[in-house]
A and B are shown apart, each in its own frame.
Chain A
Amino acid sequence: MFVRLSAAIAAAALLSGSALAQGAKPTDPQIAHIAYTAGVIDVTAAKQALKKSRNKDVKAFATDMVRDHEAVNKQALALVKKLKVTPEDNDTSRSLSKNAAAKLTELSKLKGAAFDKAYVDNEVAYHKAVDSALETLLIPSASNAELKSLLQTGLKIFQGHEQHAEHVASELK
């Protein structure tokens, strides 16, 4: 429990420790970039899990993550094209990617049940952090209605994944 809590705090800090926490409201091109980056990160983490894990539930969860996040990002790309918005790199996206790369390296050193637990716990924490960023910052800041609506769907997907990850985590114990 303590480990999970601290993982959640670390993930929350990873999002709030960026420029966005300093009161700057992200623009639509930045929001699109953050949301897309968040999806890519989860797909990459899932692909690592599919290579490393031998646990049926963990692999099934990772497969779901790849499928859902690729589907969301496909929609996101179609939307930015339609709106003629060019996603813009920003500090939040950069810190998300940097932290995710560090997590991938950390997890690459683990094996078997230790890997499974660390992956799933991080998935719970990561989805929680992204949910909170979507709810409190990205959705309220989005000015385009279609972008806002896609983010709202994204939030429901992420919340679903969070519950799914929590379920898998409880089965691993």
Chain B
Amino acid sequence: MKPGGYFSIVAASISALGITVPAHAAAIQISMQNLVFAPAEVTAKIGDTIEWVNKDVFAHTATAKNGEWDVMLPPKKTVTLVLKKAGAIDYYCRFHPNMKARLTITP
């Protein structure tokens, strides 16, 4: 193995550690009620946890348009997702595509 290879592996594992153990990871709640995501726009950091709280009697999903994640939300349930990648992600509900929201994830 080339020295460069070693270095990048070490660098990758350090940054991986930094991501999995963030200093101030926050939990951010987004509710789904009467077919509306609220708040519709949220800014979070890598390592934060999003908690989607489905208050409806209908099943919903939180589906990233770019295919990054597809979270199933059964009626009256809360499902969490730990953010791992930065980016501005538009997401929607597959069952009710008129439900739309945006999540901006910063490093």
Contact = CB atoms under 8 A, between A and B. Distances in A.
Interface of A: 64, 67-68, 71, 74-75, 152-153, 156-157, 159-161, 163-164, 167
Contacts of B96: 156-157, 159-161, 163-164
B37 to A, nearest CB: 12
Contacts of A67: 58-59
A156 B99 CA distance: 9
B75 A156 contact: no
Contact of A71 (B34, B75, B93, B98): B75
Interface in B77-104: 93-99
Which among A64, A75, A160 has the highest number of chain B CB atoms within 10 Å?
A160
B57 A160 contact: no
A152 B97 CA distance: 17
B19 interface: no
Contact of B95 (A75, A152, A153, A164): A164
Contacts of B93: 160
Interface of B is mostly: loop
* Interface magnitude class on chain B: 10 to 19
B53 to A, nearest CB: 17
B30 to A, nearest CB: 17
A159 B34 CA distance: 13
A157 B98 CA distance: 9
B97 A71 contact: no
B25 interface: no
A128 to B, nearest CB: 13
Given A68-B58, A153-B34, A160-B96, 5 more contacts: A64-B95, A71-B75, A157-B96, A160-B93, A160-B98
Contacts of A64: 95
Contacts of A68: 58-59, 95
A74 to B, nearest CB: 7
B38 interface: no
A146 to B, nearest CB: 13
Nearest to A149: B34
Contacts of A74: 57
B35 interface: yes
Contacts of B98: 156, 159-160, 163
Which among B36, B59, B94, B96 has the highest number of chain A CB atoms within 10 Å?
B96
A153 B35 CA distance: 7
B99 A160 contact: yes
Given A71-B57, A71-B75, A167 B35 contact: no
